[in-house]
């Protein structure tokens, strides 16, 4: 008899699950809270983190699934379950080929180092976005949606927010919509994304993402409040993992600005540098969070300000997401005028205005300028252009790790994407995939592309398990 599967959420994980379940012979109902499909996935750069792919081979890059697993284990300090890392590493390699069959192309020359690894593993897609979003994430959603639309077995209903699970005799047998309507099925796949837009959920499961009050905001859709996580926990599911990905921001406005220009140095409250300012966004907010007060200041001088363009943004990896720079001349001058950017005729004055230790800042900048003159950052070995800070007035911009990219904690699953209860047993009829799950990240982001990769891998896995064809 044909199995009926309900998928909650039509982002990357949900659409992958729907397609895979249909291909395994099931009839699928996808319930999506938003007006359109795509979720956070459609807003994303669309990088997929994968090893040992034909794309890498075409660039002459030697890599392997074992090396990827070893890398994950190291970055997460052996916190993650090997069975999940293995499913992820093998599955993402398969996903690259699967998406290619669906019309995505991967250009070997666009592979890039998306984390802290040596071998480039960030795969950037090329394809049609169908107007679903700005960049690669929308290309992936569009490819999945086109394939799903070609299958009669799948029905997608938007504006259909699921409010609860229907459980009978300990078995999940359906979903209850917000309007009270009940849909029954043989299994339910929770694919409703993270909880970046859920203030209460954040306070409970990731308090660090509420530490800076109204500085915090979420890059994904408003619908990602953690409904599915709440339902999974209410069904007896276990919460696993913690934290998430933050980006530092000067809070000039709700601007998605992942990359800062090279002419800044970052100092903490003591006035000390603490990092190579060009380090990857995977680790930067974590390092800022470890400084006193969890904040830092970007310091620059008037000579730098005079070289800044009036508009434009940095996009070093060519992600083409909706970036809007905080670091344009027009915006900086407006914020200087408003007193948000602190100014001073001397370094001591700007330090006092910002609440930074003046002696520390003066000594740091002296040391920095000597390094610039010598052409080498002798402390943090900063890459690229080194710019002196010697022409007043001087400026200091407070930065906090406050923009929420995605959440890492969520439902504990096994490598068949079954939701596990607090004793580690599968809850019958309940699967989960994507950002709703925990246990696939430690507290440092392993690399751009792990989230979408895992959403697709575990979406497919959940579908196969649900249909009983794994
Ligand atoms: C701007 C941005 C850029 C990013 N760039 C990358 C990148 O390049 N590479 C990478 O790996 N990761 C990236 N990420 C993270 C990544 O996009 C997400 O972690 C991943 O796509 C999550 O996929 P998902 O399917 O689990 O959730 P989503 O794609 O968010 O889908 C969840 C869906 O569930 C729906 N939903 C929620 N609640 C309910 C409910 N109660 N009933 C019905 N439906 C519901 C939501 O409306 C949403 O459509 C980025 C994130 C953002 C926001």
Among all chains, which residue has been given the structure tokens 């976005």? 129
Cα 283 from Cα 277, distance rounded (Å):
11
Kindly state if the Cβ of 138 falls inside 6 Å of ligand 1.
no
Q: Which atom of ligand 1 is nearest to the CA of 245?
A: 15
Exposure string (b/e) for 272-285, b if CB count within 10 Å is 16 or more?
bbbbbbbeebbebb
- How many Å lie between the centroid of ligand 1 and the Cα of residue 103? 21
- What digits encode the pLDDT tens for the residues 120-174? 999 999 999 999 999 999 999 999 999 999 999 999 999 999 999 999 999 999 9
Kindly state if the Cβ of 223 falls inside 6 Å of ligand 1.
yes
Cis peptide before 469 (omega within 30 of 0): no
Kindly state if the Cβ of 429 falls inside 6 Å of ligand 1.
no
Angle at alpha carbon of residue 461, lines to 460 and 466, rounded to 5°: 100
Residue ID of nearest Cα to ligand 1 atom 48 = 39
286 or 190, which is more confident?
Answer: 190
* 316 has a pLDDT exceeding 90: no
* 470 has a pLDDT exceeding 50: no
Q: Terminus-to-terminus CA distance in the chain, angstroms?
A: 17
Upper half-sphere CA count for residue 162 (Cβ side, 13 Å): 33
- What digits encode the pLDDT tens for the residues 234-281? 999 999 999 999 999 999 998 888 778 889 999 999 999 999 998 887
Domains in the chain (CATH in brackets) are 4-243+408-467 (3.50.50.60), 246-403 (3.90.700.10)
Question: 31 has which bridge partners?
Answer: 8, 157
- How many Å lie between the centroid of ligand 1 and the Cα of residue 55? 25
Test site for ligand 1: of 137, 181, 228, 256, most ligand atoms within 8 A of the Cβ: 137
Residue ID of nearest Cα to ligand 1 atom 17 = 41
Residue ID of nearest Cα to ligand 1 atom 9 = 449
Averaging pLDDT over each range in 23-37, 109-123, 259-273, which range is the top one? 23-37
Residue ID of nearest Cα to ligand 1 atom 21 = 41
- What digits encode the pLDDT tens for the residues 319-374? 776 677 899 999 999 999 999 999 999 999 999 999 999 999 999 999 999 999 99
Angle at alpha carbon of residue 345, lines to 343 and 350, rounded to 5°: 40
- How many Å lie between the centroid of ligand 1 and the Cα of residue 387? 38
pLDDT of residue 313: 64
Q: Is 335 helix (H, G, I), strand (E, B) or coil?
A: helix
pLDDT of residue 311: 63
- How many Å lie between the centroid of ligand 1 and the Cα of residue 352? 42
Q: Which atom of ligand 1 is nearest to the CA of 454?
A: 11
Cα 18 from Cα 6, distance rounded (Å):
9
Cα 164 from Cα 388, distance rounded (Å):
58
């Amino acid at each position: 008899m044909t199995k009926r599967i309900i998928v909650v959420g039509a982002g990357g994980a949900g659409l992958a699950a729907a397609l895979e379940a249909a291909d395994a012979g099931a009839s699928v109902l996808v319930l999506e809270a938003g007006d359109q499909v795509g979720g956070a996935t459609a807003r994303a750069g669309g990088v997929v983190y994968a090893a040992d792919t034909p794309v890498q081979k075409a660039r002459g890059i030697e890599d392997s699934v074992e090396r990827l697993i070893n890398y994950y284990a190291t970055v997460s300090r052996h916190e993650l379950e090997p069975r999940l890392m293995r499913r992820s590493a093998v599955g993402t390699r398969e996903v690259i080929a699967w998406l290619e069959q669906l019309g995505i192309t991967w250009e070997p020359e666009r592979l890039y180092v998306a984390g802290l690894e040596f071998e480039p593993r960030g795969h950037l897609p090329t394809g049609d976005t169908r107007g679903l979003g700005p960049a690669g994430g929308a290309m992936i959603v569009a490819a999945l949606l086109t394939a799903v639309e070609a299958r009669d077995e799948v029905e997608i209903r938007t504006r259909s927010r699921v409010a609860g699970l229907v459980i009978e005799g300990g078995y999940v047998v359906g979903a209850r919509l917000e309007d009270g309507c009940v849909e029954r099925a043989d299994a339910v796949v929770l694919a409703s994304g993270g909880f970046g837009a859920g203030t209460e959920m954040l306070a409970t499961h990731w308090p660090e993402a509420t530490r800076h009050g109204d500085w915090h905001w979420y890059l994904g859709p408003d619908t990602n409040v953690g409904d599915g996580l709440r339902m999974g926990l209410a069904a007896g599911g276990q919460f696993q993992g913690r934290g998430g990905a933050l980006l530092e921001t000067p809070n000039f406005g709700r601007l998605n600005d992942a990359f800062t220009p090279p002419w800044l140095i970052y100092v903490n409250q003591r006035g000390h540098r603490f990092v190579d300012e060009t380090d990857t966004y995977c680790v930067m907010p974590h390092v800022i969070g470890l400084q006193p007060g969890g904040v830092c200041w970007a310091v620059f001088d008037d000579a730098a300000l005079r070289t800044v363009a009036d508009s434009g943004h940095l996009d070093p990896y060519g992600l083409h997401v909706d970036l809007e720079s905080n670091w344009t001349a027009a915006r900086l001058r407006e914020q200087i005028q408003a007193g948000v950017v602190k100014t001073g005729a001397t370094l001591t004055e700007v330090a006092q205005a910002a609440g930074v230790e003046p002696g520390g800042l003066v000594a740091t900048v002296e040391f920095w300028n000597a390094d610039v003159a010598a052409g080498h950052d002798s402390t943090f070995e900063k890459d690229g252009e080194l710019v002196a800070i010697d022409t007043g007035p001087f400026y200091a911009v407070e930065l906090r790790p406050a923009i929420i990219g995605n959440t890492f904690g969520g439902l504990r699953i096994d490598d068949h994407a079954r939701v596990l209860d607090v004793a580690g047993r599968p809850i019958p009829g309940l699967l989960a995939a994507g950002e709703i799950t925990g246990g696939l990240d430690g507290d440092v982001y392993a690399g751009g592309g792990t989230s979408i990769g895992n959403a697709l891998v575990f979406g497919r896995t959940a579908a196969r398990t649900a249909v009983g064809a794994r």
